[in-house]
Every structure is written in C-alpha cells, then in structure tokens.
Amino acid sequence: MTGQKWEQLYNVAVLESDWTTAKIDERIEAAEAAIKGRLHEFSLNHGGYSRRKSGDHRCREQIGKSA
C-alpha cells in the first residue's frame, strides 16, 4: 500500500454527502482499514527511524575515518 492510499480513502469518506445509506459505512471501513494497514507498515520499519539511524551511524563512521 502506498503512503497516500489511506489519505485518498479518508478524504472520500469525509467528503461523502450521502449519510443515509450503507455507502458511508463502506467508505469509513475502507479508510479505517487503509489507515490500520499504513500504521502496520510503520510498525514494521519503526517509521523509518532505524534506517535513518543506521545511515547517520555510517556517516559518523566515515567522518571519523577521514578525520
């Protein structure tokens, strides 16, 4: 899932004007599922933090070698 898919589904649910049918329930459920999926993706890679941290660590090692 792309990072913006949840946002698109959320916007569709928020902008739905027909609150009297099951359509709004479907839109909300789709948005909730997409948001939960995106949160799961973040939990798998710690929000990208560990990747940035390891990149910072490599950068510090290179600076230490060249000093």
Structure tokens at 14: 């928020």
**Residue 56 clears pLDDT 60, i.e. is over it:** no
pTM here?
Answer: 0.54
The stretches of the chain forming alpha helices (DSSP H) are 5-15, 22-45, 49-66
46 Cβ contact list (under 8 Å, min separation 6) = none
Distance from C-alpha of 65 to C-alpha of 57, rounded to nearest angstrom: 12
Report the pLDDT averaged over residues 5-17.
88
Integer Cα distance of 20 and 24 in angstroms: 8
If one counts the domains in the chain, the total is 1
Tell me which residue range forms the domain holding 23.
5-66
pLDDT at 39: 87
